[in-house]
Structure 1
Amino acid sequence: MLSRKLLTTLAVLLAGTAMAHAKDATYVGSVETISGDAGGKARGTVFLDANRNSRLDNGESGIEGVMVSNGREVVLTGADGKYELPAYDDMNLFVTKPAGHATPVDKDMIPQFNYIHKVAGSPDLRFGGIKPTGPLPAQINFPLIADGSGSSFDCLIFGDVQAYTNRELGYVRETVGKMLANRDNQKTECLIYAGDVAGDDLSLYPRIKAIGAVGRVPQYWVGGNHDLDFDAKSDADSFDTFRTEWGPEYYSFDIGNVHFVTLDNVRYPCNGVDPHPFCSPDKKSTYNGVISDRQLEWLANDLANVPQDKLIVISAHIPFQTFTDNTAAKHQTDNFDKLAALLEGRPALGLSGHTHTTENILPGEDYEGWEKNTKVPSAPFHQIVTGAVSGSWWAGDVNDDGVPRSTQRLGSPRGYYQIAFDGSDYVDTYLKFGGEENEQMHASFNSPRFRDWAKDLLAYVDLYGAPSDVLPPVTVNDLFDQNMLTRADLQGGTWVAVNVWNGSKESKVSISINGSEPIAAKRTQDGTGEAKRSGVEYADPLALAQQSTNGSMAFKSAKNGEATDGFNTWTGVEWRGVPGPLQSWMLTKNSQHLWRADLPADLPAGVHTLTAQTTDRYGRTFDHTITFEVVEQMPQMTWQKDLWD
C-alpha cells in the first residue's frame, strides 16, 4: 500500500502535468487563516496544495525559498515552508508567487495571494472600504500548486478601462470581453490592467471582473487615480475599496524568468504633503504621481532576492515619464530617480497607463520637462505607456460594433498590448480591438487644404471649448475627400503623415508610390530633449478628422429626453449641442510616433497607390496600403444639380 506522503507527492506531480496540458483546469481557492493568538507576529506556511482544497493538510509539504512580505519587510520561507514577519496595524500580507507555480483564484480569476489586516477597518467610505479584520490570525497559510508553465508565455496589458457607467461597461464587454472570448489564451499567463480599472464608481468592480474572467486567465490590477476612495481623508485609506475588491496596492509575482512588480504611484490626497501648487492645503483634494518611501523600502527588500539577470517588469498607473504630459508634474512620477536607482544594472521594462496614449519610450530618449519633473533627464530603461481600452474616454461616434471610436490623444485607435516573453527577452505588440496583428499604422495627407481647415478647427476649440452650442466653422465634411489631392495641394507642399501606433525611435518608416523606390520618412520628434512640436504641421490628419465631428452630440429623442440626449462621459459630463469636436487637449495636434515623408509635387493626375512600411526594433516589417487621387482641381463633391435643371 502506498504511503500518504508518496500519494501526496504523486498528486502534486499529476496536478502539475494536468495543468501543463489543460490550462482550463482552473485552481479555485483561497488563503487559509487559522484563528488564535498571533503574538504580535505574522506567521504561517507556504505549501503545495495537493488536493486543491486551500487547506494545509497532513502530508502536504511546505515550499522553501518563497518570498513573503508584510508590505515592508520580505522574508524567504524555510525548508518547511514556514515564515514569520513583524505585524502592523494596517498591512497587506502577501506571497510572491514563484515561477512554475500558481496561486488559487476566485470565480473571477482574481489571484488569492494576500491577507488584508486592518484591525478597525476603514473610516466611513462611500464604497465600503475594508471591514474591521480584528486581531491577526495565529496562522495565515498560502496554498500553491505546480502549474507546469515555462519561460515562454505572453501577457495582455490593458490601459485605462475607465468605465464610469453600466453603459460604458457594455463597451468593455464588446471589446475586452469579445476579444478574450475569441482568442486562444493557452499561452497567456496574465492580464495586467494598468490602472483606472473603474471610472470613480467602484460599485462597478464586480461587473468589470466578470467581463475579464471570460478569458480564464489570472487578472492582475494596478490602482489608478480613478480607482480611489475619493472620500478618504488620508492616503493610507485611499485604496481601501480597491484592496477589498482586488488586493494589495503593490505586490510582485514571478512567471518564467520574469519578475513582475506592481507599484502604487498615486498619492491621494497630496494636499499639504507634496510641494506642488496643485497639492496646496487650500486647494481641492487631488492626487500626485509619487512612490511612497514604504514601497521603495519594500521594493529594495524584494529585489534583494531576485537574480540580477531576471527581467523586471514594473507596472504603475501614472507614467514614470511621458511625452504627452512632459511638462506636467502631476502626470509623471516625482521620485522616479529613486526607482531608477533601485533598478540600475537590471534588465527592466516599465508599463503604465493614465494618459490615454501609446508611447514606446526607449532608453536614452528625452523630452523637455523630464529632468525637472522626474529628476531623471532621459529614459533609463524601456517604458511603454499602454494606451487605453476606453480610448478618449469613450467619447464620440460609434463604430460598426456600436462602440465609440474614441481615437486616442496621439492618434492610436483603442486597443491593448500583447507582450510575448521568452526567458528574459520579450517582444511588445500593440493590437487594436477588432484588428489583426499586421495592422500597425495608418497614413493620411497633410496638405495646404488640410492645414487651413485645421487652423479654423483649432481656433474654434480654443475660443469656445467643447462641447459648444456655437456652430463650428468647419466639420469633417469641409475636408471633402482627404485622399484627393489637387495640383495646388502638391505644389503648396503636401506630405504623408504615418502614425505607427507602437513606433519607437528605432522604427524605420518609408513610403512608396505605385511600387516605386521607397522614400524615407522622418519622425516628427527626435527624443533628444526637445520641446513638444505641436500644431497643424505636426498633426495627424486622419486622427484629427475623426476627432473633429461627433454627430452623437446632437442626438435627441422624444421618449427619454435629457437622459438620452447627446452622450455623457466622465462623471456625467454632458456632450450636447451641435455636432462638434472633442476638447482641445484630446486632439491629435502632436504625436510621439508620427513620421513625415514629402510627396513629389509632379505626380500625374489619376489614381495612385501609397504603401507605408515600418520595420520595428525587433526587425518585424509591416505594410499599410491606401489609394489616393490627384486631380487638377477639386471637383464638385455634392449632387450635381445643375445637370438636372
Structure 2
Amino acid sequence: MHRILTLTALCTLAGAVLAKDPTYIGGVHVVRGAGDGADMARGTVFLDENRNAQLDPGEAGLPNVQVSNGREVVLTAEDGTYELPAYDDMNLMVTKPAGYATPVSADMVPQFAYIHKVDGSPDLRFGGIDPTGPLPEAVNFPLIEDAVGAEFNCLIFGDAQAYTNREIGYVRDTAGQMLATADLSDTECLIFAGDVMGDDLSLYPRFKSIIAVGQTPQYFVGGNHDIDFDAEDDKDSFDTFRREWGPEYYSFDIGDVHFVGLDNVRYPCNGVDPHPFCATDANHTYNGVITGRQLEWLENDLANVPEDKLIVLTAHIPFQTFTDNTAAKHQTDNLDELVAVLGDRPVLGLAGHTHTTENIEKGEHFHGWEENTNVGPAPFHQIIAGGLSGSWWAGDLNAQGVPHGTQRLGSPRGFYELAFNGPEFVDTYRTFHTHEDEQFHASFNTPRFREWAERLLTYRALYEREFDQTPPVVRRDLGDMLMLTTDDLAEGTWLTVNVWNGSASSVVFASLNGGDAMPAERTQSGTGEEKLEGVDYADPLALAMQSTQGSIAARSVDGGDETAGFTTWQGTSWSGKANPFQGWMLTDNSSHLWRLDMPNDLPVGLHTVEITVTDRHDRVYRDTIAFEVVEELPNLEWQAEFWE
C-alpha cells in the first residue's frame, strides 16, 4: 500500500539513519580578531581530527587543496595555509578534494564557503545577506577523511519549483518519500539543477527539512525562480539563495569526477545583454549567460584538475535544448566561451529549466543552436533532468495523490540517477511511481487520434490561457486508444514509443504477434533539422493525459474561489471548466519519440506488440501491449437500447 509520510515520520526516519551512520555536522571556522579588515583573505584547510569544525592545536593542515575567492584560485601550502585577494562581495570557498568530506548543516547542506558581503544586501523581500562587516582574521576550512572510491552514485533533480506550501507537500510525497525509503548507501550527492522554489523563497526551510531525510549531501545551483526579483543588479539577485544554500558557483571532487556548479541566470539582463527582451524599457527579466568573472574562475579552477578527469557541469538554464531550440533566453548565450575554457576535456553537462528530459549526445544538432549559443553540434554530452514538479505540479491527481504533471516532451515526472565508475558514467531516468525497468510508454497514432488532436490543439491556440470555455474534445472522445479499426489501418496508423531517456544511440524494435522484430525510426534525427511539430509528431498517450484536467472544474461550498480548481505558478488559478494544459505544455513534439508504421492488413481480433528498447549503455527494456482490430468502433458507453 502506498504510504504518505508526514514530516514527523520523515524526521524520525532521518534520525534512524543518522544514528546508524553519524554525520559530520558543522561549519566553516571563522576567526574574528585584530586582523579584521585586512585586504587579503587568509586561513587554513585542515584535517578536523575531533570533528568539532574548529582548527585546534595539533590539527594538521592539508596541502594542495584549492581555495578560491570566486575569481582567483590558489593551492594551499604544505601547512594547509592559503592567501587570496579579498573583495567586498565574494564567496571564499574550498574545493572539496576526493577522499575528504566537508561538514554539513543539520539539513545536509555542505559547508564549504564563507560568504563575505561587507555591507550586506540591499533591502530585499526575502532578506538576502546580512552585513558581514570587515574581513575576518582567518577563515579556516575543516575536512575529514571520507574513503569514497571511484564507484558511486549521484541523484539529479530538475525543477522542484514549489510555489506554495501545498506544493511543498507534493515534494514530500515524491522526493521525500523516495529519499526516506531508498537504499542510498552508494549515493554520495544529491544535485538540484535550479528552480528549487517557485519565487517564494520563504519556503526554503521546509524544503530543506524534507530533502534532509536522505542524509546525503545536497548541492544546488540557482534558477530563474530562485532569484530575488526585487534586486536591481545581478550581483545581488542570488543573495537569498547564497544565504540558504551557499555560493552560486563552486566545485568539488568525488572519486575521479570534478563537479562544477555554474550560475547562468543573469537577472536583470536589461541594458546588459543585446536581446529585445533585455531592453532597458522592457520589464526586468533574466537571460541565460555565464559571466566573465565566472569563466575566469573556472579557467583557474580547471588549471589544477587533471585533463582525464570527468568534468560534470550543472547549470539551471540548458547549455542547448531541443525544447526551446530557437530561444536565446532559454539557452546559454556564450556557450562558445565556456567550450573554449573546457578544451578537449571529457564533460557532462546537467541542466533543468525546460521541464523535459533530454539526453543530448556529443555531436547531435538541432536548428537554432548555432544562432542562440554560438555553437552548432553539441560540444559535449548534455542531460536535461526533467522536473521534480513535472509540468509545474499541474493536472489531476495520480494514484500517489500528486498531480500527474506529464512533462512537455511526454515523460512522467522523475529524476536521474548517475552511476560513476572512474570518469565513466551510466545515466538512468527514474520516476516516483514506476519500476526502474520501466523506461518508456507506447500508444498508437491513428487517423481518429489525429483528427481529435487537431481540434484540441486548434482550440488551445485560440484560448491559450482560458479555462471557462467548453473544449471541443476531451479524453473520452478519443474512445479506446488500443482499439484500431480496419479503416484506421488502411488510412495510416503507426506505433509511437516515447523513450523517456532516449538518445541518438537508442534503438527501438517492435514485434507483432511474436513475429520478426521491426526497427522503429526516431522522429527527430538530431542532424541540424528544425523541430517537427503537430499531430504527426505528437505522443498520443501523453497528449491524452494532458488533454482533460477535471480538477479545474472542482468547486466546493466551503472553499468557494479559495479552493476552486487548482493553482500553480504565482498563485495562478486554473479554475473553470475541465480543460487541457496550456498549448505550449502539450506534447505535439518530442526529441525522444520513435515511430513504426503498422501493417494495413491486420485481421480483426486481438493482437500483441512487443516493444524492445536498447539504450546507449546496451541495457534492454521490454513491454508488451495488447490491442484489438475491429471493423468499426462499438458503442463504448452504456447500451441503453437493451433497456428501452
Q: TM-score, normalised by structure 2?
A: 0.96
Alpha-carbon distance between aligned partners in 1 of 2:51 and 2:448, rounded to the nearest angstrom: 67
Q: Which residue of 2 aligns with 1:414?
A: 413
Q: Which residue number corresponds to residue 285 of structure 1?
A: 284
- Residue 8 of structure 2: aligned partner: none
Percent of paired sites with the same residue: 67
Deviations 1:52-107 (Å, cap 9, x if unpaired)? 00011111111111000000000000110000000000000000000010000011
1:225 is matched with which residue?
224
* Pairwise CA distance, 1:179: 0.4
CA distance in 1, matches of 2:143, 2:467: 57
- Tell me, in whole angstroms, the C-alpha distance in 2 between the residues paired with 1:560 and 1:538: 41
Corresponding residue for 1:58? 57
- 1:318 touches 1:333 (CA, 8 Å); kept in 2? yes
| 1:613 Cα deviation after fit | 1.1
Secondary structure in structure 2 of the residue aligned to 1:338:
helix
Tell whether the 8 Å contact from 1:606 to 1:629 is kept in structure 2 after alignment: yes
Q: Distance in 1 between matches of 2:631 and 2:281?
A: 62
In the alignment, residue 75 of structure 1 is paired with which amino acid? Answer: V
Aligned-pair CA distance for 1:601: 1.1
Query: 2 CA distance for matches of 1:467 and 1:625?
Result: 39
Is 1:27 matched up with 2:49?
no
* 2:189 match: 190
**Counterpart Cα distance in 2 of 1:242 and 1:522:** 44
Superposed CA RMSD in Å reads 1.0
What is the match of residue 126 of structure 2? 127
Deviation per residue, 1:551-573 (Å, 9 max, x gap)? 00000000011110001110011
Report the AA paired with residue 30 of structure 1: G
* Distance of 2:20 and 2:485 partners within structure 1: 57
Q: Residues of 2 paired with 1:637 and 1:559: CA distance? A: 36
| Matched residue type, 1:487 | T
Report the Cα distance in structure 1 between the residues aligned to 2:247 and 2:468, rounded to whole angstroms. 46
- Residue 148 of structure 1 corresponds to 147
The 2-side partners of 1:137 and 1:169 are apart by 37
1:434: how far off?
2.0
Aligned residue type for 2:440: M
Q: Is the 8 A contact 1:552 1:579 kept in 2?
A: yes
Task: Give 2:276's aligned amino acid.
Answer: P
What is the number of residues matched between the two proteins?
625
SS of the residue 1:84 aligns to: strand
C-alpha separation between the residues in 1 aligned to 2:334 and 2:19?
A: 44
1:424 CA drift (Å)? 0.3
Instruction: Quote the residue 1:616 is aligned against.
Output: 615
Is 2:357 the partner of 1:358?
yes
Q: 1: distance between equivalents of 2:494 and 2:440?
A: 16
CA distance in 2, matches of 1:477, 1:268: 44
Separation in 1, partners of 2:620, 2:370: 34
Which secondary structure does the structure 2 equivalent of 1:200 belong to? coil
Q: SS where residue 393 of structure 1 aligns?
A: coil
Which letter maps to 1:438?
D
Tell me the alpha carbon deviations over residues 460-493 of structure 1, each in whole angstroms, 9 at most, x when there is no partner. Answer: 0011123321111100000011111111111110
The 5-angstrom pairing of residues 97-108 of structure 1 reads 97-108=96-107
Secondary structure class of the residue paired with 2:210: helix
1:404-440 Cα deviation digits (max 9, x unpaired): 0000000000000000000000000001112211110
2: CA distance, partners of 1:466 / 1:136? 51
How far apart, in 2, do the equivalents of 1:327 and 1:107 lie? 43
CA distance in 1, matches of 2:20, 2:67: 26
CA contact (8 A) 1:332 1:373 kept: yes
Q: Which amino acid aligns with 2:540?
A: P
Q: Structure 1, residues 2-47: CA drift from partner, whole Å, max 9, x if none? A: xxxxxxxxxxxxxxxxxxx998221001100111214211000000
What are the superposed Cα offsets for residues 519-558 of structure 1, whole Å, 9 maximum, x if unpaired? 1000000111110000000000000000000000000000
Corresponding residue SS for 1:418 = strand
AA of the residue aligned to 1:84 = E
Query: Which residue number corresponds to residue 443 of structure 1?
Result: 442
Partner residue, 2:460? 461
Measure how far apart 1:139 and its partner are.
Answer: 0.4
Preserved CA contact (<8 Å) 1:24 1:216: no
Residue 239 of structure 1: aligned partner: 238
The corresponding residue for 1:15 is none
CA offsets 1:189-246 (integer angstroms, 9 cap, x no match)? 0000000000000000001111110110000001000000000000000000000011
| Aligned partner of residue 209 in structure 1, secondary structure | helix
CA deviation digits over 1:388-417, x for unaligned, max 9?
000110111000111000000000000000
* Alignment gaps of 5+ in structure 2: 1-17
Partner letter of residue 276 of structure 1? H
Mapped partners of 1:300, 1:566: distance in 2 = 50
Distance 1:151 1:568 in 2: 44
**TM value normalised by structure 1:** 0.96
Is the Cα–Cα contact under 8 Å of residues 196 and 225 in structure 1 kept in the other structure?
Answer: yes
Q: Give the match for residue 41 of structure 1.
A: 40
Alignment of 1:404 onto 2:430: no
Q: What SS does structure 2 have at the residue aligned with 1:488?
A: helix
> How far apart are the structure 2 equivalents of 1:173 and 1:514?
43
Task: Letter of the 1:420 partner, please give it.
Answer: A
Aligned partner letter, 1:332: Q
In 2, Cα distance between the equivalents of 1:372 and 1:417?
A: 29
Secondary structure of the corresponding residue to residue 173 of structure 1: helix
Using the alignment, how far apart are the partners of 2:28 and 2:119 within structure 1?
21
Counterpart amino acid of 1:28?
A: I
